[in-house]
Amino acid sequence: MSLGRKVFFVLFLIFFSFKMGESIVYIEIDSPTQRLYRLAFSIYPKDTGPSGRIERVLKRCLEISHLFELVDLPSNGNLTPQTIDYASLKRNQVELALSLRLEASGREVLLNSFLFDVVGESLIKSKTYRSSQEGVNLICYKLVDEILELLTGRPGIFCSRIAFIRQIHPYRELWMIYPEGSGEMPLLRQTLCMSPRFSPDGKRLLFTNFKRMNPDLYLLELETGRVNLISSRPGPNSAPSWSPDGKKVVLSLRGTKGSLDLFLLNLNDGSLTPLTQTPYTETSPSFSPDGKSLVYVSDRTGTPQLYLMDLESKKTKPLTQFGTYNADPSWSPKGDWIAFSGRWEGEFKVFIIRPDGSDLRLLTPYKGNHQNPSWAPNGRHLVFSSDMRGPRSLYITTLQKGGPWGLTFPKEGDGQPNWSPLLF
């Protein structure tokens, strides 16, 4: 069964029962630092069906959300609107409480959830999820994403996927994984791939492949598994970036002066429009969310630096003029930040900077090399690759330097991650 059909099947089984309390809870997530809110968590009964798995997945998601300090309730802590003791929870400095009641019958799982505002002494939300046992991870992702959107006003991140390149000598294979760290899934094996990029609707994936002895650009339909050749000009067809409407792609091709230039490819008719025509290397483009600008890498001053281009006028201006090597730019979904990797004290680190060149921040002050940042749908989390703990692996952090949380543990190396939009 294809990925799309599996997700649709699980979602078809979800039964929605939604109820809002009178209180309004809102957590600010744009400040440079993030206070963690004490959240009491319980699942009852603990020895029923997949309760252990559900508990592990939910706690992992809540931890990666970087909003909560988890507090375990007693094993018999079955909180309902009728049984909750707000005074007792307040004595333990609890601010929010999430209580789950699990029912399992055969292959079916029923998960009743209650989210409480302990400070305001009210029920924020109740919802019931129904799934097969195989689909419990997906309903956990859905539950946490809905909680995050309710409390922050921003979409969650867990109903998405992260594509990446896994090195298994002599190959570089195309894989995917859920942001919680489960569900590693190979897409293309025993081949040489690079630069995966999800389409704006998350249904397609662009990547470069050496199948025809040339770095050509291909398109993978995730629902059917069908692969189509998109661009096969002599030389690199690499570093693609989707336009926000999904109709065009900017990529690097060999230009008339022999170096890499940026071209705009119309996916409907295959027409190409040159965006740069220089003797320098122009690569790694990333569209702004409004589709009006690009950030990209150029070595026109002697070292790789970031530049901005207004697509209507084709005028460019430097974004970074510091350091000896800045690359891998990625424009945030909100348009307020550009993430990139830059060489700093002999190692690559992940930085963020405003599109006007202000407010430069170092996000990964850890040992090792950190590269290839890619934004989550909420514009707060990022995934990147790093060798900080051995073989290059994938990690997640936040604008407030949460984590880093390791996602993959390969034998040889994982890199070039790209975070999808929300898929369900």
pLDDT at res. 116: 96
pLDDT at res. 44: 87
The H-or-E segment that residue 146 falls in is: helix 136-152
- CA separation for the pair 305, 326 (Å, rounded): 5
Q: What is the largest CA-CA distance in the chain?
A: 74
Is the peptide bond prior to 274 cis by the omega test (within 30 degrees of 0)? no
The H-or-E segment that residue 57 falls in is: helix 51-64
- CA separation for the pair 267, 409 (Å, rounded): 36
pLDDT at res. 10: 41
Nearest alpha carbon to residue 354 among 324, 329, 385: 329
Contacts of 122 (CB under 8 A, 6+ apart): 21, 22, 23, 116
Look at the domain 3-152 and name its fold.
Rossmann fold (3.40.50)
Alpha-carbon distances of 347 from 218, 325, 326, 368, 390, rounded to whole Å: 32, 10, 11, 6, 15
pLDDT at res. 17: 34
Do residues 237 and 219 make contact, with C-beta atoms less than 8 angstroms apart? no
pLDDT at res. 75: 52
pLDDT at res. 74: 61
DSSP state of 192: B
Do residues 10 and 138 make contact, with C-beta atoms less than 8 angstroms apart? yes
Residue 406, strand partner residues: 395
Q: Which residues of 115-148 are buried (b: 16+ CB within 10 A; e: fewer)?
A: bbbbebebbbbbbebbbeeebbbbbbbbbbbbbb
Three-state SS sequence of 323-374: CCCEEEEEECCCCCCEEEEEEECCEEEEEEECCCCCCCEECCCCCCCEEEEE
Q: In the CATH scheme, what is the code of domain 162-419?
A: 2.120.10.30
pLDDT at res. 73: 73
Domain ranges of the chain: 3-152, 162-419
Nearest alpha carbon to residue 209 among 176, 162, 172, 243: 172
Burial class, 70, CB count within 10 angstroms (exposed 0-12 / middle 13-18 / buried 19+): middle
- CA separation for the pair 233, 196 (Å, rounded): 18
Do residues 26 and 146 make contact, with C-beta atoms less than 8 angstroms apart? no
Average confidence (pLDDT) per 10 residues, the chain, 424 residues: 45 36 63 91 85 95 97 73 92 94 90 95 95 94 97 95 98 98 97 98 98 96 97 97 98 94 97 96 98 98 97 97 95 98 96 97 96 97 97 97 96 98 96
Query: pTM surpassing 0.85?
Result: yes
Alpha-carbon distances of 393 from 157, 205, 362, rounded to whole Å: 20, 21, 20
Long-range pairs for 175-180 at CB < 8 Å and ≥24 separation?
Answer: 175/414, 176/3, 177/394, 177/407, 177/408, 178/137, 178/141, 179/64, 179/376, 179/381, 179/383, 179/396, 179/407, 179/419, 180/57, 180/60, 180/61, 180/64, 180/137, 180/140, 180/141
Do residues 18 and 127 make contact, with C-beta atoms less than 8 angstroms apart? yes
- CA separation for the pair 88, 132 (Å, rounded): 36
Quick check: do 3-152 and 162-419 share a fold? no
